[in-house]
Amino acid sequence: MRFLTLILFFIGCFAGISQNCNNTFSGKIIDSHDNTALVDAKVEIIETNQTVLANADGTFSITNLCDSKYTIQISHPFCITQTHYIDISKDLNKVFWLEHHLEELNEIIIKGNHYNNKTNTTLESKISKDELERYSSFSLGDALNGVSGVSSLNTGNAIVKPLINGLHSSRVVMMNNGVRMEDQDWGAEHAPNVDINAVDNITVIKGASALQYSGNAIGGIIITETAKAPVKDTLYGKTIITGASNGRGGTITSQLTKSFQSGWFAKAQGTLKRFGDFEAPNYNLSNTGVFERNFSLSGGLNKFNYGIEAYYSLYKSEIGILRASHLGGAQDQVRAINNPQPLFVSDFSYDIDAPKQDVEHHLATLKGFKKLENLGRLSFQYDYQQNKRLEFDIRRGDDKDKPSLDLNLQTHTLLFDLDSKLSNKSNLKTGVMAKYQNNFADPNTGVRRLIPDYDKYDLGAYAVYNSEINNKVLLELGARFDYTHVDALKFYRTSFWESRNYDTIFQDIVIEGDFGDQVLANPKLNFYNPSATAGFTYKFNNTYKLLFNYSLASRAPNPSELFSEGLHHSASRIEYGDLQFKSETANKISLTLQRESNVFNFSINPYINFINDFIVIEPTGVSQTIRGNFQVWEYRQTNAQLIGLDIDAAYNFANNFQYNHQFSLVKGYDKTRDEALINIPPVNIKNEVIYKNSKLNNLRLKLQSDYVFEQNEYPNNNFEVFVPETGTMETVDVSTPPDAYHLLNFSSSIDFKINKGTAITVGFDVSNIFNKSYRNYLNRLRYYADDLGRNFLINLKINY
């Protein structure tokens, strides 16, 4: 058949030469990204040396062509030149689609295409690649701390958990490279298992409005992304080496990307981080070392109309927990809190002993997309995550080297999304999600399971619509529904089971068997969670913009809130969950006034969040055990209200000089009990002056002042305990927040170009310049030790 066609072609050609040279070849050149005409695209016929330029509507026409085969080249200053072969036997009209690329390809993808907005009516804060590189030796939480309205709940200085507008843990969703992190995030001392060096961009959405990711982000969503590989033949990479005086350690991270004109690409990245004991201004913080090893690999095909990508990453970290924070009962707590210095201080060491955490997170993703005409961009993603969490306590006898907590959480997720352009001005995103999760708590620890074995099934579906009503108004509407089923197997102490009346309420879920003084229960729980969002953006002019958003979010209780029952060692308290909890629902209204110009920018963002059935843990009494007294904390549901204001401002007050200001305020109340909520960030003001000079090797000097007020609204959870040494009842002050503090930090960097492809950036930073002793209300170890002292940091980045 093919042969026959060929013959016919040849016959046609030969016949043509002798006869007709009056054919016209016309057509249109279109940018395949946005369907606009490519003005001045050059169309060249190689055989005849004829050249024309496309006119304003992208059309062109070449006359006087004979019946023949021609080679045509279509080029445009910002496009990859295309070569086509055409057979002319009569007039021909053809449309050509060119892919519009800039010379600095990666750059433009980053700005224009890849890191696009996730929502249209809520303020999004982004952390750029340059900024992230400066945090190379820190954690993700530290970098996020730089965003207004985001603070962190710390356990020491290495476990940093982001807090958005006063909320954290299961209320903050972490999207890592398109994958929702499932890393036991319910725990206050469980930081996100993400290597900051594997991330090129972070977006923070303060609220639940990005329904395409989740409907339960009552606090907000953190989205980390990697840069898209360019579609051209290239090989590039970078290495960052950081050394720090505090902790006497550093980080080395490297990444390499190879990409091809054909769209294929491969990326490899790895990080090694090692620190010994960190230091407070006056003493060593014993057993606070960190050892982190991460790597990631990815590869795939990146075409304009379709693409496929495979990604794998391993995050492995070992973090020492301040030795002085390991306590017995409340009597130990009194001694630790009343002593101005930690009760255990030893010389500097790189050793990481118990108490410590050893966490491993595997993440594998396979995703693809296809652009379908008249339908939109259809994408699919499968991801698998395995989170292995070991926690070691100081133990006795044969159990010395055994972990006290050994959890293995495995999650499979399947996503299908469709992004359709309904018209030039409106867009509809829809999608479905299915998830299966299994938690296995190893009984060989010899410690009762903190989190039980469970299977969890999630199904979700969403639709988000946005439309440009006119030049000034953009509207956004969305809805989502999630169904969660939890099937757990949990051993309860018979004494607790009965004290809660579970033996009558839940007699149906008890599994018969002889388990000594324990009861085996098989709770099967269902949660139905609707969520929705509505908002608009109003553009006053090119400078001022107003964003309004309302979101409804609902969250099923997490395993800790449902099943906790027993001593939580790292908190030195007994914690009780409740099987009867229902989902919590939040209604958040947020308003943003934004000004964007060359000289003066600002955004003012007040918000209010009403949360019904808010799950809060708080003390209810003191339990006497043979080990002494422990405070009992029980989860309960209440109605909460969070109200706050975030302000960002930037002013270029002189050539090369910029002044930045940031202000965050949030107040949280328990409306049922009419008291303040615990762990609400105090008011924080940051001011910085930056000097930048592009003529002086991009010299950048920054002086930052960070003032944190004392939290003046907090619940009083103090309690009294008998201390035998003094024979008196003493108050255990676990409530009073520490004093306000002011830190001064310096940061600088300068670029050197070595040759065409290689550049070096050298950075020098000093944090806590005056070596000030301070304690942070949101650091769970604030009772036992001061925060970090002065730190000198040298940062060397090589781009090649």
Cβ proximity to another protein: between 383 and 765 the closer is 383
Binding residues with another protein: total (CB under 8 A): 64
H or E element at residue 491: strand 473-493
| DSSP H or E stretch at residue 529 | strand 524-539
* By CB under 8 A, residue 328 contacts another protein: yes
797 binds another protein (CB under 8 A): no
366 in contact with another protein (CB under 8 A): yes
- 626 contributes a contact to another protein by CB under 8 A: yes
Minimum distance, C-beta of residue 329 to another protein, in the bound complex (Å):
6
Reported as type and span, the H/E element at residue 29 is strand 23-31
The Cα–Cα gap between 191 and 176 comes to 14
* DSSP structural state of residue 541: S
Q: Which of residues 462-491 bind another protein (CB under 8 A)?
A: 487, 489, 491
Please enumerate in sequence order all residues whose Cβ is within 8 A of that of 344, keeping only pairs 6 or more positions apart, or say none: 286, 323, 324
Pairing of strands 234-244, 510-511: unpaired
Q: Is 593 exposed, middle or buried (0-12, 13-18, 19+ CB in 10 A)?
A: middle
397 binds another protein (CB under 8 A): yes
DSSP 114: I
Both structure tokens of 428: 């509809």
CB-nearer residue toward another protein: 340 or 516:
516
Closer CB to another protein, residue 470 or residue 501? 501
Binding mask 572-591 for another protein (x = CB under 8 A): --x-----------------
Q: What mask of x and - would describe binding to another protein in positions 694 to 733, judged by CB under 8 A?
A: ----------------------------x-xx-x------
Four-residue CA torsion sign, 767, 769, 773, 774: negative
Question: Helices then strands (H, E): number in the chain?
Answer: 8, 45
Residues 6+ apart with CB under 8 A from 765: 134, 745, 746, 747, 748, 791, 792, 793, 794, 795
Task: Identify whether the C-beta of residue 554 lies closer than 8 Å to the C-beta of residue 585.
Answer: yes
**Among the listed residues 627, 696, 739, 742, the single contact to another protein using CB under 8 A:** 627
Is-contact 507 448, C-beta < 8 A?
A: no
| Beta-sheet pairing, 172-176 with 220-225 | parallel
Rule CB under 8 A: is residue 445 a binding residue for another protein?
Answer: yes
In the list 42, 129, 293, 370, the residue contacting another protein (rule: CB under 8 A) is: 370
DSSP 583: -
Answer yes or no whether residue 326 interacts with another protein by CB under 8 A.
yes
- Name the residue nearer to another protein (CB basis): 237 or 628: 628
For another protein, the closer of residues 627 and 742 by Cβ is 627
> Considering beta carbons, is residue 20 or 438 the nearer one to another protein?
438
**Residue of 517, 596, 713, 739 that binds another protein (CB under 8 A):** 517
Alpha-carbon Rg of the chain, whole angstroms? 30
Count of C-beta atoms within a 10 Å radius of residue 276: 21
Judged by beta carbon, residue 497 or residue 741, the one nearer another protein is 497
The upper half-sphere exposure of residue 168, i.e. CA atoms within 13 Å in the direction of its Cβ, equals: 26
Nearer to another protein, 394 or 473 (CB): 394
* Options 396, 501, 542, 598; binder of another protein; rule CB under 8 A: 396
* Segment interacting with another protein (CB under 8 A) among 8-16, 108-116, 324-332, 786-794: 324-332
Stretch that binds another protein, among 109-117, 147-155, 206-214, 624-632 (CB under 8 A): 624-632
Question: Please, how many CA atoms are within 13 Å of residue 606, restricted to the half-sphere of its CB?
Answer: 0
Among 520, 690, 766, 794, binds another protein (CB under 8 A): 520
262 binds another protein (CB under 8 A): no
Work out whether the CA dihedral 563, 566, 568, 573 comes out positive or negative.
Answer: positive
- Given the complex with another protein, which of 496 and 707 has the nearer CB atom? 496
Say if residue 521 is exposed, middle or buried (CB neighbours under 10 Å; 0-12, 13-18, 19+).
Answer: buried
Exactly one of 453, 482, 584, 765 binds another protein (CB under 8 A); which one? 453
Contact letters (x/-) for another protein, 547-566, by CB under 8 A?
-------------------x
- Which uninterrupted H or E stretch holds 9? helix 2-18
Query: What is the rounded CA–CA span in Å between residue 532 and residue 211?
Result: 7
Q: Which 408-437 positions form the footprint of another protein (CB under 8 A)?
A: 412, 414, 434, 436
- Quick check: 616 and 635 in contact, CB under 8 A? yes
Closest contact distance (angstroms) between CB of 572 and another protein is: 10
- Return the number of the residue (128 or 624) whose C-beta is nearest another protein: 624
Is 438 one of the binding residues for another protein (CB under 8 A)? yes
Interface ranges with another protein (CB under 8 A) = 306, 308, 326-329, 331-332, 335, 343-344, 366, 368, 370, 380, 382, 394-399, 412, 414, 434, 436, 438, 443, 445-449, 453, 455, 457, 487, 489, 491, 493-496, 499, 511, 515-518, 520, 566-567, 574, 623-628, 630, 722, 724-725, 727
